Amino acid sequence: MPVKLMNLLVPTALVLAGAGLAAGLTVPSLQTAATPAEPSQAQVQLAALDGTAGAGAAGPQTGRVEAEGRAELPDAAWDRAALRGVMALSTADSLLEEPFRIGSERRTVEVRSGDTVLGLLLPLLTADRDAHNAVAALETAFDPRDLQIGQEVRLLLEHHGHSTSLTGLEIMPDVDRLVVVSRDDADGFVAETIANDLETRRVAAAGIITESLAADAERAGVPYAVLHPLIRMFAHRLDLQRNLQQGDAFEILFERDHHEDGSVARLGPAVYGRLVSNDRDLPVYRFETADGFVDWYDREGESFRRALLRTPLDNARMSSGYGMRRHPILGYTRMHQGIDFAAASGTPIVAAGDGRVEIAGRRGGYGNYVRLQHNGRLSTAYAHLSRFAAGIRPGARVRQGQVIGYVGSTGLSTGPHLHYEVLVNGSQVNPLSVDLPVGRTLEGADLAAFRDMVDGIERRFAELRRDGTQFADRSEEEEQGSAGD
């Protein structure tokens, strides 16, 4: 039989039990089901609470409950005790509802496409003010717009039952830098940057080319991200697609940053590379001058760069050289004023040198065509493109190695390839034989420091060659440590 109290309908037994607990009463037995036997004292008391007569009663009972071994409670006291019991039960029920949490939580959130720091915080916090204030503090040390997909944001949350607040957050923009946002004494937020000290080690690798420079260097433990700048440098002096052969040798020295526990934090740049191909020996060294200029140099301290790359695309083979040939479409012999590189459609084409876009558009048998002006007398042209790269239009400035378009088969073409021309004073010349100017040459103190660096690298690899090592998977520091054991 239910009791109606404060507009809440709850089972009578639960009310009585809750009231008993709240009032400090002892209720030995509660029975709500009627029995054929004589009504118990509890039944009479329940009937009295409802204002009805119990079995065998002549009229309404007084509104009181008798507890075993305790004094009687008047109606008003009982009502107050019952109300406290209902409230206690209601609170207990709320503890079982979601979300109800108490305590601290560390949560790591991985950034997905379209996420923002503010967008990650708002659904988790009760007060929007916390989210906005935390982001405002973060902006003093890190631009939230630089958040990257896959990056982790670590949150410290504090749960207070049905509400949640932010204690702090951490973002690692780089492996050597951690940004921490925490609460200050004024209950606001403050950000600080903590440097993560890394140890730089140099790793050496060497090998013989059996397939390609990229494939064999990777097998020797050189990541492609490290190798790619070296390939760009060697392309200044050597046509890698045409000149490299099986049996040629390579050597590479690159840097790698490590955490305190020895794990790899990030890959550094290549410091040295060498190709030995037929009778050509091409060492190249990365060096930073006293004024902060970083470039690649040969053994004599002259810039390894040339004004133009030998090949303006990767993973291509030269399919047709410069000179007289029978045109595959027109059917007669005429001068082929450039060289052709066969490559898959869509392969990126890069600018052979720094310059300005002179022409970018459709041009007769050339199809989609780009011409770059590099200085007062030197130009390069790229034909049969499938499409142009973004921003490539007349007047635009480009840097050496910048993508300007993609391999196609537009114009007079029998298949996807790049037709590449070098022009001197407006006339086509053989791209493989043109005299290309060099860049900066080291002098003075820079040259002396460079020579010291070269001597150290030469000694390092002389030991490897003497030992017959083709792959060194240990850093210089590791080898020095083991030598002292």
Pairing of strands 280-288, 294-297: antiparallel
Q: What is the CATH number of the domain that holds 156?
A: 3.10.450.350
Residue 152 has pLDDT above 70, yes or no: yes
- The reported pLDDT for the residue numbered 52 is 46
- Whether the pLDDT of residue 30 is over 90: the answer is no
- Residue 42 is predicted with a pLDDT of 43
Q: Which of 429, 461, 477 is the last residue of a domain?
A: 429
List pLDDT tens digits, range 330-345: 666 777 888 999 889 9
Instruction: Please give the Cα distance from 248 to 434 (Å, whole number).
Output: 25
Q: What is the rounded distance in angstroms from the CA atom of residue 134 to the CA atom of residue 132?
A: 6
Mean pLDDT of 273-279: 89
Q: Is residue 272 part of a domain?
A: no
pLDDT of residue 293: 86
In the prediction, which pLDDT does 446 show? Answer: 94
The reported pTM is 0.55
The confidence band for 132, taking pLDDT boundaries of 50, 70 and 90, is very high
Which is more confident, 335 or 61? 335
Q: How confident is residue 64, by pLDDT bands cut at 50, 70 and 90? A: very low
Q: What are the E-state strand segments in 162-232?
A: 164-174, 177-183, 189-195, 199-208
Q: How many whole angstroms separate alpha carbon 64 and alpha carbon 42?
A: 11
Percent of the chain scoring above 70 in pLDDT: 73
Q: What is the CATH number of the domain that holds 347?
A: 2.70.70.10
Q: 369 near 363, Cβ under 8 Å?
A: yes
Q: What is the pLDDT of residue 182?
A: 93
Residue 171 has pLDDT above 90, yes or no: yes
Do 71 and 143 belong together in one domain? no
Q: Give the per-residue pLDDT at 74.
A: 57
217 within a domain of the structure (yes/no): no
Per-residue pLDDT, averaged over 386-406, amounts to 94
Domain annotation covers residue 350: yes
Helix (H) or strand (E) holding 43: helix 41-50
Rounded CA gap, 262 and 283, in Å? 31
C-alpha 247/C-alpha 139 separation (Å) is: 55
In a domain, residue 212? The reply is no
The answer to whether residue 261 sits within a structural domain is no
**Per-residue pLDDT tens digits for 172-212:** 988 888 999 999 888 889 999 998 888 888 888 989 999 88
Please list the residues that pair with 179 across neighbouring strands: 171, 193
Phi, psi dihedrals of residue 324, rounded to the nearest 5°: -70, 140
pLDDT at residue 87 greater than cutoff 80? no
pLDDT at 90: 52
How confident is the model over 345-382, as pLDDT tens digits? 999 999 998 889 999 999 988 999 999 998 878 899 99
Residue 441 DSSP one-character state: B
Assign 98 a pLDDT band (cuts: 50, 70, 90). low
Of 171, 195, 219, the one marking the end of a domain is: 195
Strand order from edge to edge, sheet including 164-174: 101-110, 152-161, 164-174, 177-183, 189-195
pLDDT at site 68:
43
Share of the chain above pLDDT 90, in %: 38
Domain holding 19, by residue range, is 3-96
Longest dimension (CA), the chain: 129
The pLDDT, as a whole number, for residue 99 is 61
What's the average model confidence in pLDDT over 153-180?
91
In the numeric block, the tokens 């008798």 are attached to: 66
Within 8 A by CB and 6+ apart from 70, the residues are: 25, 26
pLDDT category of residue 322 using cuts at 50, 70 and 90:
confident
Question: Rounded CA gap, 337 and 428, in Å?
Answer: 6
CB atoms closer than 10 angstroms to residue 185:
6
List, in sequence order, every residue forming a beta bridge with 219; answer none if it has no partner.
none
Within this chain, do residues 90 and 113 fall inside the same structural domain, yes or no?
no
Question: Considering the domain boundaries, does residue 368 fall inside one?
Answer: yes
Domain end among 65, 96, 127: 96
Q: Report the interhelical angle of 75-96 vs 12-23 (nearest 10°).
A: 100
Per the CB < 8 A criterion, the answer to whether 125 and 182 are in contact is: no
Instruction: Name the pLDDT band for 82 (thresholds 50, 70, 90).
Output: low
Give me the mean pLDDT over the 33-49 stretch.
Answer: 46
Using one digit for the tens of pLDDT, what is the confidence trace for 453-483? 999 998 888 877 666 544 444 444 444 433 3
The lowest-confidence range among 93-102, 422-431, 459-468 is: 93-102
Q: Are residues 68 and 114 in the same domain?
A: no
Alpha helix segments (H runs only) across 108-212: 117-121, 128-138
Q: Which residue has the higher pLDDT, 100 or 270?
A: 270
Residues 375, 346 share a domain = yes
pLDDT of 349 reads 95
Whether residue 283 is preceded by a cis peptide bond, meaning omega within 30 degrees of 0, is: no
Q: What is the mean pLDDT of the chain?
A: 78
Instruction: For residues 13-19, give the mean pLDDT.
Output: 44
**Same domain membership, residue 136 and residue 42:** no
81 and 13 co-located in one domain: yes
pLDDT mean over 94-118: 81
Same domain as 119, residue 66: no
pLDDT at residue 25, as a whole number:
44
Which pLDDT belongs to residue 470?
A: 47
Q: How far apart are CA 463 and CA 219, in angstroms?
A: 21
Q: What is the CA radius of gyration of the chain?
A: 41
How many domains would you assign to the chain?
A: 3
Is residue 44, in this structure, part of any structural domain at all? yes
- Show the tokens assigned to 151: 């990056």
- For range 123-147, the mean pLDDT: 91
Q: How do residues 222-253 score in pLDDT, each as one tens digit?
A: 999 999 889 888 888 887 777 788 999 999 99
pLDDT at 262: 85
What tokens appear for 326 in the block?
């029978």
Sole residue written with tokens 């005429």: 334
Co-location of 140 and 44 in the same domain: no
pLDDT, mean of residues 145-173: 91
Residue 140 and residue 38 in one domain: no
Q: Are residues 394 and 322 in the same domain?
A: yes
What's the average model confidence in pLDDT over 288-307?
Answer: 89
Question: Do 91 and 116 reside in the same domain of the chain?
Answer: no
| Domain shared by 353 and 411, yes or no | yes
The distance of Cα 430 from the centroid of its chain, to the nearest Å, equals: 44
Q: Which residue from 316, 310, 307, 322 is spatially nearest to 275, judged by alpha carbons?
A: 310
Q: Is 294 a member of any domain?
A: no
